[in-house]
Structures are given as structure tokens and as C-alpha cells.
A and B are shown apart, each in its own frame.
Chain A
């Protein structure tokens, strides 16, 4: 079951198309990464999901029904930029935001107490927001986002501004929230966090979706059929079957070497192993699965390359 689906969403601002027929599916109780370069359209899409703006065409389905204002209470949104009333006190501010999401004052107080203890910030209750550092404000705003236990939580660059320790805390919270039944969509540039957390991703470039699916699927899509091998026993060139391409050998410290080998799509990894065993002692053998970083760069660049070529042809 998909907690959220967008069907052919289009959004234009004056002459610029921010979203061009964007369709994504976000499965329930998953962690979904919304990726893309700056200006790709991620924030525009997020604003449409959070009902801050409306699409020019297309529709959003939330929990199997068309998105409407009653869903506000079930969605939490943490924008990229800090957004808090500077002169308000922390506790008061959080109560205000929680009540606007539909909690009663008592419910909000109870939940806030739990979070304040969990984050160990009891002393902040009466502090003014402007007296907190950026990272502290982000923590506060995170609490405001998840306090009402929404089914769908949208985080725009949640890790920016956090030191490693606090980033880790947020990461753990995200995992915890998923365990408790929420779905989390977060948009980011930090690919390491995507690797660690996301079950599904969508990559948006120039207002279009260029990748979409579970992270496993996507990485397999980008498989290059290369394998990384560390071994010893041969220092120059391996004797491999036809069609197997090997890179240069690189000697490691302890007279082992490392090498990358690309096999044709028709071959299997076992064939490679069988061929290697004849010659060398294998220490390490693994498939080169591209990192999200590499996938991001090659997809975006690839696209841009294609665009460039097309525009060159047309000129």
C-alpha cells in the first residue's frame, strides 16, 4: 500500500516549469529519499504535498484518498530553513504548533514532556528561541514536526547544520519513527544518509523524475558488472576468458594486489571465480555496486550530457 502517490503533477512559475509530469509512489512505512540537484523541483513537490501550494495539474493521493485539508493533521513538515518565532519561548511555541496540528493542550504537554526528556533538553522550556543555536533550533523544530505522530513525515534537508552526534540522534529517531508506523520522506544531498536509511528513492532532475524505485533495484539498474578482487600469486596480467576486461593491477603493501574486472552480461560471477582460482589466491571478492553518490552524479551528468548533445545537434 502506498501512503502517498503523485500522478503527473505539473507546476509552473511564470515561465519556468518546476515540476513536469512528476509521478512517484511512496510505500507505507518506508523511508523514502527525494534526491536531486539544487533547483530540480524537490521543494516544489514537497510544498504541494504539504498543501502549501497547489499543482497546476495532476493529483496527489494520500492514504487512498485525494489530498485535502483534513489530512494536515496526519502530515508533519520540517522545512529546510529554520522557521520559528524568535521571541517566543520554546515550550510555549511547541504547544502552539502542536495545537495548530490538532492536538489538545494537554495531549501536547504530555507528548512534549516525553520528547524533552528523550532529547535531554528540559532546561530549554523557558528559553527564547532566539537564544538557541541553529542546531538547537533544528532539534526543536524536529520535535514540532513529529509531535503529533503523523503518518507521513516530510523532512527537507534534515541533517544540514547538525554535528555528527546530533545527526546520529536524528537518524535514530527516523528509524524509530518508521518502526512506530510512520513513513518518512526526506530530501537531501547527502548521499551517505541515503545509503544508510532509504528503502526507496526518487531522483528528480530538471523538473522530471529520472530514477524511481527501491534502492536495491536502482543500484542493480546501475550495475556495471564489475568485480573487485584482492589476491596474490600473479603480478602482471590475469588469464581470463574472452570478453572479460581487467583493469591494471595495483600492488598493495603485503604483496597482495587489487584489480577490477568487468565481465560480460552473459557471464556469471562464478565463472570469474573459477577462472581466478586457477591462478591466484583470492582474499577479497565482491561486486562493485555503485554508491548512491555515483548513481546521482552519473544520472544527472548523463542527463545533462544528453541535453548538451541534443542542443548541440539542434544548433
Chain B
């Protein structure tokens, strides 16, 4: 036992002291939070105001086109289109909007003259503004008073509330989505990163022949487990730092940049000015009014964190044992390809299936994938925010299977490891590996 501990300590310290680890730990959350924060910042930042000259032959649009923060409409002084075009060419205006005389029932022929190509967003914005004026006009022609018209505009949002035996709590669809997908993604990349580290460590020991010296002092399984646990602890250390730093960054930046509301944009938005405030009319995520992170209240945070830790450890132990076995079977990293594929397929499938499971968290696919040990770490984490207390037995079942899973793969890996680490020069096939399982200890 003592010897395993010595090995764990060495494997841990040698990696944690590396500059690359320290940099990744500090930069990681920055690198992932920053892009999100920056994209939100940039999309809410105002753009330069652009002036659109309007030559309106219908007369409908005089003083009706409302300027927005980025577009202002100015009536052209020209009388004819050619005159307008001529003066536009020399003017500083951004574009010339020509509205020919048309029947309000069939608007056509509207042209936007620009000096260079403009963004579709601007064209859309102009179109919406024009459309609004026409629609208002039609309503008024139909006899509806403008004030009545204004009063029909509605702006609202739906807040989600979860009801269970304990009462009501504000829910959040998007919060669950983020947590589910986020933890699945974290597990996905961590399995690859740390599994690969274990494999590389084993190969290094093999090629540098240190393994002979080590095996004359410790048993192969002690070396294997020491390495797996050591690297695992490195992973946990990194996560603890990431979650801590990420949390602080997220609360700090959201607090500073967004005072009242957050809008997380999924696609291009339309900005139409309604009253004075800025709101979007496309479906977007609106967090609750008060704190940006209030949605976390519905989620059983201790359970989620506890499960994340369990599934990270379980999934890591299961897969890193297999990675260790692959490392022991080959002589160089370039030979690992043929063995890596079958090991990584379940991980990749889990990640792809996650997109489906998040829409159908209670279906049979979701259920079975969250029980089978090879896919359960990722899929169960995806399901977790959407589960209620009556389903918790599934978590227990899944955990039991995961434990059986990693005990199984560790046993298998140990048998391959102890033969493979001393075997050089042989190109191993699956048949060969199968034989190794039965070599005497």
C-alpha cells in the first residue's frame, strides 16, 4: 500500500509542477468564459449610427420611419431618383432608400442604393422599419386608431416554475441545458486528456526502460494503479481550480457588464424599437430578473456536483485502465491508433447522443445509456438536471454498474499491462492480447 502511495505522489507532483499544467489551469476558464463574455459584449455594443437617405414617392413615409440606435432616416432633398443618386454619391450618407409609388396592397420596387455591400442585418432592419409603417397604415386605413394600435403591442416573458412536493421553485430550462451539456462536455474532454496522459506515461516508462527497474521494486499492478490514481488526482485538482475560477469570473463579469438583464443570443436578432427600451423579439434566453445565476436554485446543486465527481472518477477509472493497457501493449505512441478507436467510440457516441438525450431525458435510449458503464458518465450527467426525486434510484443503479465496470476494466487492463510492459518488438494484435489475459502471474 505504501508503495502505491509513493507512486501516486510522484505521478501527481511531476505533472502538477509542469508549467503547462499551471498555465492551462489558470487560462482554461479564461479561455472558455472569455469568448462567451466577449461575444455578448460585442453584440450588445452599439454600432456607429448610419444615415439612410429616403426618397419616398408614396408620401407615406414622411416622418414615419423611426430611427434606431444605429440607423437614422433622413428625407432626401432630391426630386427625382437620378438627382438623389447623384447627390448620394457625394454625400456621407450610408445608403439611399428609394420607395417608388406603389399600391399599398402590393408594395414593390423598393431599392436600397449603397456605396458598398452592406450587412444583411441592416437590410433586414430597414425592411422591418418600412414594413411596420405600411402595416400601421393599413390598420389605420381599416379604421383602427393609432393609440389603440400602440396599446395592442405586448411584451412579456414566460417564467418557468417547477412544482414538486416541496413547493414551488423557479425553474430554468436553459440552466438545465447548460449544466447538462456543460458537464457532459467537461467529462468528454477530460476522459481524453487524462486517459491520454496515462497512456503516454506508460509508453514513456516502457521506451525509457525505467519499467524494468520499477518492476524489480514494485508489482506491475501497483505501478499501473499508482499512475492512474496520480493522474486522476491531477484532473480533479484542475477541475476544482477551473470550477472555482470560472465561477468567480462568471459572477464578476456578469455583474459588471449587465446590470439588469442578461440576454444570451442564439442567432441574429432583430432590433426593433418598441417604446424606449431595447428588447428582442426573436426567441432568446432571458434569465430571471434579479440575479443572472438564480436559475441554479431549482437544480439540486449538491447532487449535481456530487454526481459529477462520482462520474468523473468512475468514468476516468474505467477508461484510463483501458488506456493504460493500450500503452503497455505498444512500443510507441504511433502504434496506438488501432487500439484507441474501439475505446474512444463509446465516448464519442455518448457525446453525440447527448444532444438527443437532452431533448428526451426520460426515454429508453436515455435510460439505457445512463446505466451502461461505458456511456453512463456522460449521459447520466446530461439527464441529471432534468430528473426528479422519484428517478433517483436510476442514479444508484447506474453507479453500481459503473463501479462494476471499472473493476472489470481494471482487472482486464492489469493482466495486459503486466505482460505488455516488458514485451518489446512484437507487433501485437487483438489475438495476442487475448492470450496475454491468461499468462501466469
Contact of A258 with B by CB under 8 A = no
Using C-beta atoms within 8 Å of the partner chain, give the interface range for chain A: 20 to 34
Is there contact, CB below 8 Å, between A56 and B10?
no
* Bound CA span A158–B339, Å: 37
Is there contact, CB below 8 Å, between A97 and B217?
yes
Is there contact, CB below 8 Å, between A75 and B216?
yes
**Considering the complex, which residues of chain B in the window 75-127 have a beta carbon less than 8 Å from any beta carbon of chain A?**
none
Max chain A Cβ within 10 angstroms of own Cβ: one of B209, B217, B422: B217
Is there contact, CB below 8 Å, between B209 and A83?
yes
Tell me the smallest distance from the CB of A80 to a CB of chain B, in Å: 9
Is there contact, CB below 8 Å, between A72 and B209?
no
Is there contact, CB below 8 Å, between B217 and A101?
yes
Contact of A79 with B by CB under 8 A = yes
Max chain B Cβ within 10 angstroms of own Cβ: one of A51, A79, A83: A83
Contact of A307 with B by CB under 8 A = no
* Bound CA span A284–B43, Å: 104
Is there contact, CB below 8 Å, between A79 and B212?
yes
Across-interface contacts of B209 in A (CB, < 8 A): 79, 81-83
Name the residue on A nearest B421 (C-beta).
A52
Tell me the smallest distance from the CB of A281 to a CB of chain B, in Å: 59
**Considering the complex, which residues of chain A in the window 89-131 have a beta carbon less than 8 Å from any beta carbon of chain B?**
96-97, 99-101
* Bound CA span A97–B211, Å: 12
Is there contact, CB below 8 Å, between B214 and A54?
no
A96-B10 in contact given A83-B208, A84-B208 (Cβ < 8 Å) = yes
Among the listed A86, A100, A144, which residue makes an inter-chain contact with B6, where contact means beta carbons less than 8 Å apart? A100
Contact of B213 with A by CB under 8 A = yes
**Considering the complex, which residues of chain A in the window 11-53 have a beta carbon less than 8 Å from any beta carbon of chain B?**
47, 50-53
B410-424 vs A: 1/0 string, CB under 8 Å?
A: 000000000000100
B211-246 vs A: 1/0 string, CB under 8 Å?
A: 111111111000000000000000000000000000
Contact of B14 with A by CB under 8 A = yes
Across-interface contacts of B213 in A (CB, < 8 A): 77, 79, 83-84, 97, 141, 144
Contact of A88 with B by CB under 8 A = yes
Across-interface contacts of B441 in A (CB, < 8 A): 54
Name the residue on A nearest B432 (C-beta).
A14
Name the residue on B nearest A100 (C-beta).
B217
Across-interface contacts of A164 in B (CB, < 8 A): none
B359-394 vs A: 1/0 string, CB under 8 Å?
A: 000000000000000000000000000000000000
Contact of B259 with A by CB under 8 A = no
Is there contact, CB below 8 Å, between A83 and B210?
yes
Interface residues of B, count at CB 8 A = 22
Among the listed A52, A88, A99, which residue makes an inter-chain contact with B216, where contact means beta carbons less than 8 Å apart? A52
Max chain A Cβ within 10 angstroms of own Cβ: one of B209, B212, B441: B212
Name the residue on A nearest B3 (C-beta).
A100
* Bound CA span A189–B383, Å: 66
Tell me the smallest distance from the CB of B55 to a CB of chain A, in Å: 74
A100-B219 in contact given A83-B209, A86-B208, A88-B14 (Cβ < 8 Å) = no
Is there contact, CB below 8 Å, between A85 and B217?
no
Is there contact, CB below 8 Å, between B422 and A54?
no
Name the residue on B nearest A141 (C-beta).
B213
Contact of A220 with B by CB under 8 A = no
Among the listed B3, B7, B216, B422, which residue makes an inter-chain contact with A77, where contact means beta carbons less than 8 Å apart? B216
Across-interface contacts of A101 in B (CB, < 8 A): 217
* Bound CA span A85–B13, Å: 14
Contact of A87 with B by CB under 8 A = yes
Contact of B440 with A by CB under 8 A = yes
Tell me the smallest distance from the CB of A37 to a CB of chain B, in Å: 19
**Considering the complex, which residues of chain A in the window 144-165 have a beta carbon less than 8 Å from any beta carbon of chain B?**
144
Across-interface contacts of B3 in A (CB, < 8 A): 100
Name the residue on A nearest B440 (C-beta).
A54
Across-interface contacts of A52 in B (CB, < 8 A): 212, 215-216, 422
Is there contact, CB below 8 Å, between A85 and B210?
yes
A85-B208 in contact given A52-B215, A52-B216, A54-B440 (Cβ < 8 Å) = yes
Across-interface contacts of B440 in A (CB, < 8 A): 54, 56
* Bound CA span A79–B441, Å: 21
Tell me the smallest distance from the CB of B18 to a CB of chain A, in Å: 9
Q: Which residues in A have some Cβ–Cβ distance to B below 8 Å?
A: 47, 50-54, 56, 69, 72, 75, 77, 79, 81-88, 96-97, 99-101, 141, 144
Give 10 new A-B contacts, CB below 8 A, not counting A85-B205, A97-B213.
A52-B212, A54-B440, A54-B441, A79-B212, A82-B209, A83-B210, A83-B213, A85-B14, A97-B217, A100-B3
Question: Can you identify 9 A-B contacts, CB atoms within 8 angstroms?
Answer: A52-B215, A54-B440, A54-B441, A69-B219, A79-B212, A81-B209, A83-B213, A84-B210, A100-B6
